[in-house]
């Protein structure tokens, strides 16, 4: 039997890679992890964690505004952008250290540097070559920047946490998770935000009611949203500001421009062409149900291959893969009813099918929907509204889609995701006692359908 340096060599120490490495090592495998950057990948360093911290920061502006309605007399608060950046950097450094300790305590070997696949069982990092029975690619994705005049002035999401100085006027191009979240964040922190989206709606793939509702709420909060708008060029003006020329000939002035128009898999420079790993047109590694590539000894998980670019999905894939390679092989990653949240202001939480997708799959569906002013805002003075929506398969009475736009929507939907995965029916929702007064109780007190397919 051929001898290898490692049983598993993981390229990439993001969420999926670290989880796979730890779980495999705990099962007795000899594991190495190669990483050229900070431990934790996109999520920890320039994604989920810092973005949520900045979302909290933006939320304080709303809270200060609301406080007067509840009897608080406050002096005009001021925002210290450098202080927020420093606090965030300190927290991310702490998390980087935790990831390093987790790998060390599990018994994995961490190799610093950029790795390249040299053969079906060989990886090179710097001048050193290593052999492994199995190679796992978990290198994630990176922002995609379009090729247009002035692209050198574009910022991607990776750079937004350390902008210097704070942009007085920010243009956000894009309509997905990242674009909407950063538009909300910087609007809350005090920037004048303009969001440009080439399509007819924000958040492609989300329920249509959610799309229109969040667009209205973000607009009320101060984000200037322009749909069906495209940038044709960006230029630096004499005063140092930027000017965006749109396809219709109009212009917008800005101090910074964020492009959040999609991400691409991090596969460039990995040497996959050396061994014939099959890739999709966008560079994603094509894998089977066990995450095996076209080369039997090479696997891929997370954003570098997955159809769902979410950190918890990468973690689930990692655990399923380790069970396949070093366990009994029973564990599977189920991609149905994966909940997700968008940390706009207000938040979005969703699980299951959109109304359109449910009609396509089941034919006849019943829809329950309500939008209302939350109790908090009866005194706060703000006109923010909340949306809750249930989509029910009429034949089985099963709730197949649940959508919330409102305060702490992600926290609420996480619990309901368990119910949907368990096959909860609308009758079961109706028989559940609500907690009063809460936003979440609306989901178990909806009684009158608003639409039903013929």
Q: How far apart are CA 347 and CA 349, in angstroms?
A: 7
* Closest alpha carbon to 295 in 135, 413, 162: 135
The answer to whether 31 touches 135, Cβ cutoff 8 Å, is no
Range 15-28 burial, b when 16+ CB lie within 10 A, else e: bbbbbbbbbbbeee
Virtual torsion, Cα 152, 153, 154, 159, nearest 10 deg: 100
Query: CB-hemisphere CA count at 13 Å for 260?
Result: 24
The answer to whether 3 touches 127, Cβ cutoff 8 Å, is no
For residue 119, what are the CA distances in angstroms to 124, 290, 296? 9, 21, 12
N-term to C-term CA, the chain: 64
As given in the structure block, the two tokens for residue 209 are: 């009611």
Q: How far apart are CA 138 and CA 103, in angstroms?
A: 15
Q: How far apart are CA 83 and CA 344, in angstroms?
A: 22
Catalytic residue among 75, 238, 330, 436: 436
DSSP letter at 354 equals: -
Coil, strand or helix at 112: strand
| 359 φ/ψ angles, rounded to the nearest 5 degrees | -65, -40
Q: Helix 48-67 to helix 177-189 angle, to the nearest 10 degrees? A: 40
Neighbouring residues of 374: CB distance < 8 A, sequence distance ≥ 6: 384, 385, 386, 406, 407, 439
Residue 436 appears among annotated catalytic residues: yes
What amino acid positions are annotated as catalytic residues? 436
């Amino acid at each position: 039997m051929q001898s290898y340096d490692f049983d598993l060599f993981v390229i990439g120490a993001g969420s999926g890679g670290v989880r796979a490495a730890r779980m495999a090592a705990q099962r007795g495998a000899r594991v190495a992890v190669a990483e050229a950057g900070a431990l934790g990948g996109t999520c920890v360093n320039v994604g989920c964690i810092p973005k949520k911290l900045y979302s909290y920061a933006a939320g304080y502006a709303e809270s200060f505004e609301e406080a007067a309605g509840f009897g608080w007399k406050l002096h005009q608060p001021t925002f210290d952008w450098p202080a927020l950046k420093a606090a965030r950097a300190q927290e991310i450094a702490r998390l980087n250290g935790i990831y390093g300790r987790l790998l060390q305590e599990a018994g994995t070997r961490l190799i610093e540097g950029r790795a390249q696949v040299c053969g079906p069982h060989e990886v090179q990092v710097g001048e050193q070559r290593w052999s492994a029975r199995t190679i796992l690619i978990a290198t994630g994705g990176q922002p995609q920047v379009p090729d247009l005049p002035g692209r050198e002035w574009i910022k991607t999401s990776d750079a937004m946490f350390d902008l210097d100085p704070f942009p007085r006027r920010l243009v956000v191009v894009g309509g997905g998770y990242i674009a909407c979240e950063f538009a909300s964040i910087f609007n809350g922190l005090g920037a004048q935000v303009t969001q440009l989206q080439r399509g007819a709606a924000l958040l492609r793939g989300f329920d249509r009611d959610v799309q229109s509702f969040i667009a209205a709420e973000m607009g009320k909060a101060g984000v200037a949203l322009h749909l069906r708008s495209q940038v044709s060029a960006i230029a630096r003006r004499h005063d140092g500001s930027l000017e965006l020329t749109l396809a219709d000939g109009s212009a917008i002035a800005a101090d910074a421009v964020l492009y959040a128009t999609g991400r691409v898999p991090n596969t460039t420079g990995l040497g996959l062409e050396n061994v014939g790993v099959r890739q999709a047109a966008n560079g994603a590694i094509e894998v089977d149900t066990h995450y095996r590539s076209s080369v039997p000894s090479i696997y891929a998980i997370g954003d570098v291959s997955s159809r769902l670019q979410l950190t918890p999905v990468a973690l689930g894939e990692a655990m399923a893969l380790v069970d396949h390679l070093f366990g009994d092989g029973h564990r599977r990653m189920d991609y149905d009813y994966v909940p997700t949240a968008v940390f706009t202001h207000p938040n979005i939480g969703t699980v299951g099918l959109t109304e359109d997708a449910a009609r396509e799959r089941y034919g006849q569906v019943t829809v329950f929907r309500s939008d209302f002013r939350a109790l908090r805002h009866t005194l706060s003075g703000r006109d923010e509204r909340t949306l809750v929506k249930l989509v029910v398969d009429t034949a089985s009475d099963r709730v197949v889609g649940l959508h919330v736009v409102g305060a702490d929507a992600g926290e609420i939907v996480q619990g309901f995701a368990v119910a949907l995965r368990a096959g909860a029916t609308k009758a079961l929702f109706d028989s559940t006692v609500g907690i009063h007064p809460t936003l979440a109780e609306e989901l178990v007190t909806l009684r009158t359908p608003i639409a039903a397919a013929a």
